[in-house]
Amino acid sequence: MPIATVDPTTGETLRTFDELDAEGVEKRLAAAAEAFRAHRATPFAERARLLRRAADLLDADQDEIARTMTTEMGKPLAAARAEAAKCAKAMRWYADNAERLLADEHPDDADVKDSGAVRAAVRYRPLGTVLAVMPWNFPLWQVVRFAAPALMAGNTGLLKHASNVPQTALYLEELFRRAGFPEGCFQTLLVGSRAVDAILRDPRVAAATLTGSEPAGRAVAATAGDEIKKTVLELGGSDPYVVMPSADVERAADTAVTARVQNNGQSCIAAKRFIVHTDVYDAFTERFTATMAALTVGDPMDEATDVGPLATEQGRADLEELVDDAVRAGAEVRCGGRRPEGQGRGWYYEPTVLTGVTPAMRIHREEAFGPVAVVYRAADLDEALALANDTPFGLSSNLWTRDRDEVERFAAGIEAGGVFVNGMTASHPALPFGGVKRSGYGRELAGHGIKEFCNATTVWEAD
């Protein structure tokens, strides 16, 4: 895949970039290793000052970088602005909290006395240079939620971004440089996916983090395992959204629309499978379908647009295959299910609601990465939980109910990294984020995320 900005509203290639050659990659690897030796010794106060400066610059650049993101991958402009604001918020959160999160831990002296120690501590130290392999769907946020904690912990970063968002990738490198981070602390590598293996095997790279597809995660994990290097993987998701009879059904249906079509439906944590108790199934499905059908599909630069194009032509083709397979096997299309008319050569797809989906259909188990929702009927919470867990993924989940017992049963029984009750899934700097099963392993954000790329060092002392 060429490294290029391709406008998803027209399919037109706007700008292309040369891939780094071996000499260019070597130069950046050497710079990252050199920067780590100095950056790891800087005090938290200095790292925080630089990260707050980056947040200030990002706030000032919000409109410009939002337009760049929208041009490169098609998200509505308002959503792009919100993404930039969220990144600045996360930077400030880590600037404010990293030192506390990584403070030395001191077990009770009595607990370690029988080891011969008079005192002991656990200290968190940076690992080194971390390679980040990142996707196009949240081209700023996915990177910042790795970079902010990694830099505050004293690590350095190398970014291999998706090949269709090169301008966003280069902006991020320049942002940290403008903020005052020393040369080599954060660098973008304009390389294709075939270059990742050799970079990850380089001894100057200590660890890797990847957000992306399951095949990409398998490849990075295999290489890292062979090299015995730490990885964090955040892969796909097919999140369940369960609605029980005690819920506010109208609010649940309205929120469900946003939960499904956020980022044009191209989000790992978007709700994709809507599992509704039979007592409220008809009311929910009617309102949900009507609201999905009424969404405005169009130019993402237009403030009135609700849903823009898919980011790539292949992405739309993959989505169409899933829907067509379900329809051939007997699923009912309640709305959408086709390319909208009058959108020219852009990679648009109508917001779509399917019912009557069975386990025989691909969409029952595969992730639909676009504005396509599947609505199931469940007789009770036990059946809803069984449907919710009937997926290879386990990223997040949603439950709508006013019944406290149902909340506890769902939270105990769901196979997912998150449970969001009476609201839609969202990531937040103060809360750990990640999944189980084929959604990956490890955690981003919060204290869990900043410690993923630290060496938890035991310091044992005797007289």
Supply the residues annotated as catalytic.
234, 268
* Structure token pair of residue 178: 């403008």
Helices (H), 302-362: 313-328
CA angle 61, 171, 298 (to 5 degrees): 70
CB burial of residue 108 (10 Å; 0-12, 13-18, 19+): exposed
β-strands 4-7, 186-188 pairing:
unpaired
CA–CA distance, 275 with 99 (Å, rounded to integer):
42
> Residue 459 carries which side chain, given as an amino acid letter?
V
Q: Tell me which residue of 239, 210, 249 sits closest to 422, measured CA to CA.
A: 249
At what angle are helices 166-179 and 44-60 packed, to 10 degrees? 130
- The count of residues in the chain is 463
CA–CA distance, 80 with 58 (Å, rounded to integer):
12
* Structure token pair of residue 75: 């998200």
Radius of gyration of the chain (CA): 23
Compute the CA torsion angle 385, 391, 393, 399 (nearest 10 deg). Answer: -30
By the 8 A CB rule, do 403 and 246 touch? yes
Q: Is the dihedral of CA 423, 424, 425, 430 positive or negative?
A: negative
CA–CA distance, 344 with 460 (Å, rounded to integer):
68
CA–CA distance, 174 with 408 (Å, rounded to integer):
46
